[in-house]
C-alpha cells in the first residue's frame, strides 16, 4: 500500500469520455505499474469498460457520481453547481490526501476555478499558472503561463520562474535548468515594466534561478532556454501560434508532395522519414498541461486527446508526484525569500 | 516626369549595404519600370556599383552623404546625431515631397524614431504601428502591430484595425478584408480591457471595418482573417514564434529525410516538391515591414534580406504609393469618426 501512487481521474471529462480516459489509464499502467487509480464518474458507464480491462480493474477504485461538468459550462457556474461533479470529486480526493494528483480532460476554465477554490495557492504564490512542455531544436522545454493569468506583474513572473524551474527539474530531470523571460528584444531596456522588473529580481545575486535573460519568440522553438516565462496572454498566443504554424507547414508539405508523380513516388519512399518527423512534433507527446502553484497536483489533458495523449498526461502527474514537485517549489521560494531578506537587510525584511 | 514613382532608398542600411540595396533596386525596376530611385548614401561606394547596372543608373539620382546610422545605434542617439545620415535623408525626401516612399534595411528602432520625428503621425492616429504580411492556409494575411508599441489601449487597437484594413486593401488588393483581434479565446469576456474595449468599438454599427471578432494564435497561420490586430508585444512574439516554429519544422524534416538510405532516395525524387514548399514559406517573399500611421510611407526591409527580399520591400512601397494608402486611412478615419459622432450625438461629438 505505501509504495503505490494514487492518481484521481475525472472519468467523464473530454470529448470521448469515459472510453479514452480508461484506455489512457490502461496504457499509463503499463509504464507505471505502481499506480492506483481513483476513477471518478458514472459507475454504470465505467464498470462495463473496466470489465474488459482486468489489469486496470485490479488497480482501480471507482468513485461513483452521476454529475459532470460540461465542456461549455462557465467556470463560475461549474464552481457553484458542480460540487458533486466527477471533476470536483477528483480534486477533492487530492485535497483530502486520498490521491496524490488529479487528471482531467474536461473544461479548462472550470478545472482551474475548482482547483484554485479547493486546493488554494501555495504560501508565497499569488497566482497559479498553467505550464506545458513542447518540442525544440535541442529537445524539450517548458513554457508558462499558458493562459491562467491574462495580466501579470513582475512578482507574478518571478513566481512563475520558480515554478517553471521546479517543473523542469521534476519532469525533464534537469539539475540546473536555464530560465528565460519572453520579450520583444534582448536588451535590458526592452519590454514593459513587468518583464523589466522581473528580470531585475531574477538577475539578482540572491536569485536561486539560473536566469538566462530576455529571449524572443524565435527562441521558444530554438530551445535557447529550458524554461520560457511569460504572462498568460502572450504565452497562450505563442503556444497556439506555434501549433497553427506547424499545421500550416504540414499542410503545405503534404500539398507539395502530392503535386507531381515524381514527388508522390519520392514521398512513398520517404514516408517513414516523414512519419518520424510527425512523431517528433506530435502534440500527443506534449499533452498534459500542469496547474502549478496550488497545494496539490492537477493536470489538464487536451479534450480531444486520444489514449496515448491521455496516458502521457497521467505520466506527467506521476512524474510530478514521484519527484516531489510541491516540496521543490516550497524550497525554492524559501531560498529566494531568505536570500532577498538578507540582501535588503532586516528592516525591509520585516515589512 | 509626372507618371514616375519616386522611391528614396537608404543605400547604407542592412548587413550587406550598399551592394544588396542596389541589386534589389535593379530587380524591383524590372517589375516596376516607372520607378525612379533617390539613392541616398556614399557616392564613392554606390557609383562603381551603378556603373555596372546601366538601366538602374538611368533610373537613379544619387544623393550623397558619408554619414550613416549603425545597426547598434540607440534610437535616441541616431535621432540626435544622425541628421545627415543616409536613413534620415531618405525620410526627409518623403517629408519634402521629393519621394513618395522611403525604404531602408537599417536599424529598426532608429528608423521608427526618425520617421515619427520627421513625418509625424496622421491626424486621428495616436501611434504608428509596424505591419507585415505572412503566409497562411488560405493565402496571405496582414498582422500589426509587430513591435512599435509594447503597451496599447483600446483606442490604439481600433486605429491599428483601420490602418491594417487600408493596408490589406492596398497591398493584398482585397475589397472588404476581414479583421480579427488576437486574444486568448473567442468568447466576449476573454482577454484584457484593451481587447474587450476595442472589440466593442469595432463591433458597433458605426464601424467601417468588417470585424470578425476575437481570434486565437492558431488562427494566424490558419488564415481565419485577412488582418490580425494586436499590441506590439504580442504581435512581435507571435511573428517570431511562427518564424522559430517554421525553422524547427524544416530542421526536423531535413534530419528525418537524411536518416536512412531509402528516405534519402525518396527525398531526391521529391526535392522539387520540398523546394516548392520552401518557396511558399520563404521569408523573403514576406519581406517589407511597413510603418503605418505616419504622414508618409516608410518600409523596413530585414537587415539580412538578399536582393529578392529587398526588391519585395521596394514592391510593397510602390504598391502602397500607387494605391494611395494614406488617403485610404484618412478616409476610413473620417468615416469612423463621423459615424460615431452621429451615434453618440452632438454633445459628445463636440468634446
B267 Cβ under 8 Å from any chain A Cβ = yes
Predicted pLDDT of residue A350:
37
Q: How far apart are CA A231 and CA B288, in angstroms?
A: 29
Residues of B in contact with A255 (CB under 8 A): 277
Measured CA to CA, the distance from residue B322 to residue B287 in angstroms comes to 19
pLDDT value at position A1? 43
Which chain A residues contact residue B230 at CB under 8 A? Answer: 237
Instruction: List CB contacts (< 8 A) between B254 and chain A.
Output: none
Interface of A with B in 223-242 (CB under 8 A): 230, 232-234, 236-242
For A215, name the nearest residue in chain B, comparing CA atoms only. B237
The C-alpha of B256 sits at a distance from chain A's nearest C-alpha, in angstroms, of 5
- pLDDT interval class at B344 (50, 70, 90): low
Chain segment A105-125, per-residue pLDDT in tens? 999 999 999 999 999 999 989
* SS3 assignment, position B116: helix
DSSP state of B183: -
Q: How much is the pTM?
A: 0.90
Tell me how many degrees the CA angle A212-A214-A219 measures, rounded to the nearest 5. 90
- Of all residues in chain A, the one with the smallest CA distance to B108 is A185
- CB–CB contact A243 B217 (8 Å): yes
The confidence band for A344, taking pLDDT boundaries of 50, 70 and 90, is low
Please state, in angstroms and rounded to a whole number, the distance separating the CA atoms of residues A256 and A130: 37
Average pLDDT over residues B291-299: 96
pLDDT, greater one: A307 or A275: A307
- pLDDT tens-digit series, residues A232-280: 999 999 999 999 998 898 888 888 888 888 888 888 887 887 787 778 7
Distance (Å, rounded) from C-alpha A319 to C-alpha A336? 25
Q: Does B243 touch chain A (CB under 8 A)?
A: yes
Is A349 a residue whose pLDDT tops 50? no
Which chain A residues are Cβ-neighbours of B240 within 8 angstroms? 216-218
- Helix H or strand E encompassing B74: none
Handedness of CA A291, A297, A300, A306 (dihedral sign): positive
Cis peptide before B9 (omega within 30 of 0): no
Tell which residue, B146, B245, B253, has the closest CA to residue A220: B245
B186 touches chain A (CB under 8 A): no
Chain A hits for B217, Cβ within 8 Å: 236-244
Check: CB of residue B296 under 8 Å from CB of residue B102. yes
Smallest CA–CA distance, residue A118 to chain B, in Å, is 23
Identify the DSSP state of B321.
H
Helix (H) or strand (E) holding B284, with range, is none
Counted across chains A and B, CB pairs separated by less than 8 A come out at 206
- % of chain B residues with pLDDT over 90: 72
CATH topology of domain B1-122+293-325: Isopropylmalate Dehydrogenase (3.40.718)
CB contact under 8 A, B221 and A240: no
The partner residue sitting opposite A237, judged by closest CB among B137, B232, B238, is B238
Q: Answer for the pair B292, B329: CB distance below 8 angstroms, yes or no.
A: yes
User: Considering only CA atoms, which of B199, B187, B188 is closest in space to residue B230?
Assistant: B199
Lowest mean pLDDT among A185-194, A301-310, B271-280: B271-280
- Given an 8 Å threshold on Cβ–Cβ distance, is A266 in contact with B262? no
Whether residues A234 and B237 touch (CB distance < 8 A) is answered with yes
Residues of B in contact with A236 (CB under 8 A): 184, 216-217
pLDDT, tens only, A50-92 = 999 999 999 999 999 999 999 889 999 999 999 999 999 999 9
Residues of B in contact with A137 (CB under 8 A): 247-248, 251
| Correct CATH for B126-288 of 3.40.50.150, 3.40.50.620, 3.40.718.10, 3.40.50.720 | 3.40.718.10
Question: Would the pLDDT of B205 be above 90?
Answer: no
CA A276-B219-B299 angle, to 5 degrees, is 105
Taking the Cβ of residue A257 and every Cβ of chain B, the question of whether any pair is shorter than 8 Å is answered with: yes
Considering the domain A1-122+293-323, what is its CATH architecture?
3-Layer(aba) Sandwich (3.40)
- C-alpha cell, B190: 476573454
Question: Can you say whether the dihedral through the CA atoms of B38, B39, B41, B44 is positive or negative?
Answer: negative
Pairing of strands B129-136, A35-41: unpaired
CA distance A96 to chain B (A): 32
Q: Does A282 touch chain B (CB under 8 A)?
A: no
Which of A184, A238, A281 is the closest to B217 by Cβ?
A238
Q: What is the pLDDT of residues B218-254, one digit of tens each?
A: 999 999 999 999 999 999 999 999 999 988 988 888 8
* Interchain contact, A262 vs B270, CB within 8 Å: yes
**Burial class of residue A156 in the structure, from the number of CB atoms within 10 Å of its CB (0-12 exposed, 13-18 middle, 19+ buried):** buried
Half-sphere exposure of B219 (CA within 13 A, CB side): 25
Cβ separation B184–A237 shorter than 8 A:
yes
Q: The cell 529571449 sits on which residue?
A: A215
CB distance from B136 to chain A under 8 Å? yes
Q: In which residue ranges of chain B is CATH 3.40.718.10 found?
A: 1-122+293-325, 126-288
pLDDT of B171 > 60? The answer is yes
SS (H, E, C) chain A: CCCCEEEEEECCCCCCCCHHHHHHHHHHHHHCCCEEEEEEECHHHHHHHHHCCHHHHHCEEEEECCECCCCCCCHHHHHHHCCCEHHHHHHHHHHCCCCCEEEECCCHHHHHHHHHHHHCECCCCCCCEEEEEEEECCEEEEEECCCCCCCCCHHHHHHHHHHHHHHHHHHCCCCCCEEEEECCCCCCCCCCHHHHHHHHHHHCCCCCCEEEEEECHHHHHHCCCCEEECCHHHHHHHHHHHHHHHHHHHHHHHHHHCCCHHHHHHHHHHHHHHHHHHHHHCHHHHCCEEEECECCEEEECCCCCCHHHHHHHHHHHHHHHHCCHHHHHHHHHHHHHHHHHHHHCHHHHCC
- Among the listed residues B120, B252, B131, the one whose alpha carbon sits nearest the alpha carbon of residue A249: B252
C-alpha grid cell, residue A243: 501549433
Q: Is the Cβ of A139 closer than 8 Å to some Cβ of chain B?
A: no
User: Distance between CA A49 and CA B315 in Å, rounded?
Assistant: 63
For all residues of chain A together, what is the average pLDDT? 91
* pLDDT averaged over every residue in chain B: 91
Q: Which residues 16-75 of A are in CB contact (within 8 Å) with B?
A: none
Kindly state whether B266 is in contact with chain A, defined as any CB-CB distance less than 8 angstroms. yes
Q: Give contacts of B234 with chain A, Cβ < 8 Å.
A: 233-234, 237
Q: Residue A95, Cβ neighbours under 10 Å: how many?
A: 17
Q: Is B266 in contact with A262 (Cβ distance < 8 A)?
A: no
Q: Do A270 and B270 touch (CB under 8 A)?
A: yes
Amino acid at each position: 500500500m505505501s509504495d503505490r501512487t494514487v492518481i484521481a481521474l475525472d472519468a467523464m471529462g473530454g470529448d470521448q469520455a469515459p472510453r479514452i480516459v480508461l484506455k489512457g489509464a490502461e496504457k499509463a499502467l503499463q509504464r507505471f505499474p505502481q499506480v492506483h487509480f481513483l476513477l471518478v464518474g458514472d459507475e454504470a458507464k465505467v464498470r462495463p469498460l473496466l470489465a474488459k480491462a482486468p489489469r486496470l480493474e485490479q488497480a482501480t477504485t471507482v468513485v461513483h457520481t452521476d454529475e459532470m461538468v460540461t465542456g461549455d459550462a462557465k467556470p463560475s457556474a461549474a464552481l457553484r453547481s458542480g460540487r458533486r461533479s466527477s471533476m470536483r470529486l477528483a480534486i477533492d480526493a487530492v485535497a483530502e490526501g486520498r490521491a496524490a494528483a488529479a487528471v482531467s480532460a474536461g473544461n479548462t476554465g472550470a478545472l482551474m476555478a475548482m482547483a484554485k477554490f479547493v486546493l488554494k495557492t501555495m504560501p508565497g504564490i499569488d497566482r497559479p499558472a498553467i505550464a506545458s512542455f513542447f518540442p525544440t531544436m535541442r529537445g524539450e522545454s517548458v513554457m508558462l503561463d499558458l493562459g491562467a493569468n491574462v495580466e501579470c506583474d513582475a512578482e507574478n513572473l518571478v513566481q512563475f520562474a520558480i515554478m517553471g524551474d521546479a517543473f523542469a527539474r521534476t519532469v525533464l530531470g534537469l539539475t540546473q535548468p536555464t530560465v528565460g523571460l519572453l520579450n520583444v528584444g534582448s536588451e535590458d531596456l526592452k519590454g514593459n515594466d513587468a518583464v523589466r522588473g522581473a528580470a531585475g529580481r531574477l538577475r539578482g545575486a540572491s536569485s536561486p534561478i539560473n536566469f538566462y535573460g530576455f529571449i524572443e519568440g524565435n527562441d521558444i522553438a530554438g530551445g535557447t532556454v529550458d524554461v520560457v516565462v511569460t504572462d498568460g496572454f502572450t504565452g497562450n498566443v505563442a503556444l497556439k501560434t506555434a501549433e497553427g504554424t506547424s499545421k500550416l507547414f504540414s499542410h503545405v508539405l503534404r500539398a507539395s508532395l502530392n503535386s507531381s508523380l515524381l514527388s508522390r513516388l519520392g514521398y512513398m519512399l520517404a514516408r517513414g522519414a516523414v512519419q518520424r518527423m510527425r512523431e517528433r512534433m506530435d502534440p500527443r507527446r506534449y499533452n498534459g498541461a500542469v496547474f502549478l502553484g496550488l497545494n496539490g497536483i492537477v493536470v489538464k489533458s487536451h479534450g480531444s486527446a486520444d489514449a496515448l495523449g491521455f496516458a502521457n498526461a497521467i505520466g506527467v502527474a506521476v512524474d510530478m508526484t514521484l519527484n516531489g514537485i510541491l516540496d521543490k517549489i516550497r524550497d525554492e521560494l524559501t531560498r529566494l525569500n531568505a536570500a532577498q531578506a538578507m540582501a535588503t537587510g532586516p528592516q525591509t525584511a520585516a515589512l
